[in-house]
Each structure stands twice: as C-alpha cells, then as structure tokens.
Amino acid sequence: MSGGDALVIAVDCSTTAAKAVIYDEAGQAVAQAARTLSTLQPRPAWHEQDAEQWWTATQGAIAEAVEALVDPGRVRALCITHQRESFVCLDSGGRALRPAILWLDGRAHEEIAELGSTRVHELSGKPPDTTPAIYKLAWLARHEPAVLRNAVHVGDVQAYLVWRLTGRWATSHGSADTLGLFDLQRMDWSAELLDLAGVRVEQLPDLVPAGDEIGTLSPLTQPARRGARGFWNRRRPGSRPGTRRDRFGRRLPQPRHVHGPGGPVGGVPVGPGVPDPRRDPSGEIHFGNRPQCRCVCCHVVQGAVR
C-alpha cells in the first residue's frame, strides 16, 4: 500500500455476526457494516451453522461497508479474522456435506476423555477441552464416517472464506492451529494428530504465514447486488466467457485488462476490491479503476474486529 490514502477491509466472521470494518492508514474506522448469523442446536450441547451463511453474511457486510465510502478506489486489501475452532467439510463441488460444527459444540466429550493427552497438548498446544476441532473431527470419524471419507476439503472459517473470495483453499498459521491438527514446533500439519482425528492431509488448506498475502480476489466475487445472495461475475462489454476453472471445477472468466488512472493493467482478475465501485440502474456494484485487491492473512484473535 502506498500514497498514504489506502484503505483496508477487516472482516470478522464471528459466532453471531459477520462484520466488515474499513480502516484508513491511521487506524481510524471510516465505514462498517454487519450481518447476523443464526446458530442451529439440533440436540443439547450441539451448535452448528450453515457455512453458506458465513459467505452471504460476509459479502453482504463488505458490500454495504464499501458502498458507504466516498472514494471506494482507495481500498487496497482485505483481511479476515473469525470464530476460531469452527470448521466445515466440503465435497468436490464445494458444497458442505453437513452443517459446520462450531467451537462451543459439546458433542465430543467421550473423544476428549479418551484421546486428550499430554502428547496431543505437546504437539498442538491444546489441552483437552471442548473447543479444539480435533475431538469433534474424531467424533465425525466415529459417528458420521461418510462425511470425512467423502470430504474433499476440511477447514476453518478463514479457509472457507478465502476459497470463496479467491478460489484458493488456504488458511494462515494462526487459523490452522484452531483445528488442533497443527504442530506448533514444526509449523505444519501433524501426521500423528491427523491420524488420531481421521483426517487426510490432502483435505486440509494450504498454509500461509500470518500477515502474508494469501491471494487475489476472484472474478467470481464481483460484482455484488446489495441484499441478494452474494457476489457474482458479470461480463463486461466486449469480454468473452473464460475457460479457466477453480479447484471445484467452476468456470472462471479469463483475466481482463483493467484501465486505471495510469493506463491498462494487463491480465489482472477483477474482484470486489479492484475498487471504484459504481452502481448501475439495476443496483449492481462495479469495481474497476485499480489493479487488484489483495487478501491478506490476519493474526486471528477472536473478537478482534468490532
């Protein structure tokens, strides 16, 4: 970021709401919005959410916050914090195989008693407790084995939102540790903990150091209609349908040339932070004058973004 006028969108997809707060370089909040999340409790001590709602609430909050800006073209990056130990299992099409299980879910008390150990604590930094996902993953392996067997991806809230925003299945070190499958000494997934939980390493997100760029916002997330179910791609006049596909086989448009203040920027995917949104008569928001918006890993601290 340069020029002293850049803005960053901070997203917090927490347990009760998804919030988007836009900050300037002085750390002052200049716009914000939120969308509430609903929690399911099908049995006592069970707490679940629809992962699709994480996405629709997040993009709705982002769209409203960006729309409030006088100059949306100042937006340069987006970062994510979230509700920590909650996780989702996806099939090959990116659809959730079951509702996401939340950090406060208490179904795995038997797995905690049986599998919680000094060794697990030593590797993961997590003492035996309700919150680490490892015990709920072990519960799934025992009680709903088809879910983990058929899951192509297993990941935290950040991994899910990063995939929806960028097309990449990835998360930060600070988010990966919440699953309880992360070796804190090696800063990598632990084969020993994966075996205990019944998870395969290929199901898990790529790992990116906190604070590093994790991807560029995907064309599939642009533009957005406020109040609708999400961002979707809209072809520009003269553009041709693309043939690229994301990791779930969904068609992606070809990168387009974006004409900014300094002339054309070649081959840059257009996304919701490739700013300068403009609303057309249909109510859609268009982003177009800047090269790209980066998605950046956060150090994840629950409730850090208000």
The single-letter code of the amino acid at 200 is R
Site of tokens 């390493």: 201
Model confidence at 217, pLDDT cuts 50, 70, 90, reads confident
pLDDT recorded at residue 211: 82
Whether residue 122 is predicted with pLDDT greater than 80 in this model: the reply is yes
Task: Examine the pLDDT at 65 and tell me if it is beyond 90.
Answer: yes
pLDDT digits (tens, 9 = 90+) for 222-276: 433 333 222 222 222 233 333 334 444 444 433 332 222 222 222 222 233 333 3
Asked if 253 and 234 count as a contact pair (C-beta separation under 8 A), the reply is: no
Domain ranges for the chain, please list them. Answer: 7-297
d(CA 40, CA 48): 5
Residue 224 and residue 284 in contact, taking contact as beta carbons nearer than 8 Å:
yes
For 278, phi then psi, to 5°, come to -135, 135
Question: Rounded CA gap, 280 and 278, in Å?
Answer: 6
Tell me the CATH architecture of domain 7-297.
2-Layer Sandwich (3.30)
pTM for the structure as a whole: 0.75
pLDDT 10s digits, 271-299: 333 333 333 343 333 333 343 556 665 53
Going by pLDDT thresholds of 50, 70 and 90, the confidence category of residue 69 is: very high
**What is the model's pLDDT at position 256?**
30
Share of the chain above pLDDT 90, in %: 66
Is residue 305's pLDDT more than 50? no
> Radius of gyration of the chain from Cα atoms?
20
213-216, strands of its sheet edge to edge: 29-36, 17-24, 7-13, 75-82, 294-297, 213-216
Residues 6+ apart with CB under 8 A from 226: 60, 63, 64, 67, 283, 285
Contacting residues for 28 by C-beta, under 8 A, at least 6 apart? none
Q: 3-class SS at 34? A: strand
CB 231 within 8 Å of CB 59? yes
Q: What is the pLDDT of residue 259?
A: 25
Q: What is the pLDDT of residue 287?
A: 36
Q: How many CA atoms lie within 13 A of 114 on its CB side?
A: 12
The answer to whether the CB of 172 falls within 8 A of the CB of 214 is: yes
Round the average pLDDT of the chain to a whole number and report it.
78
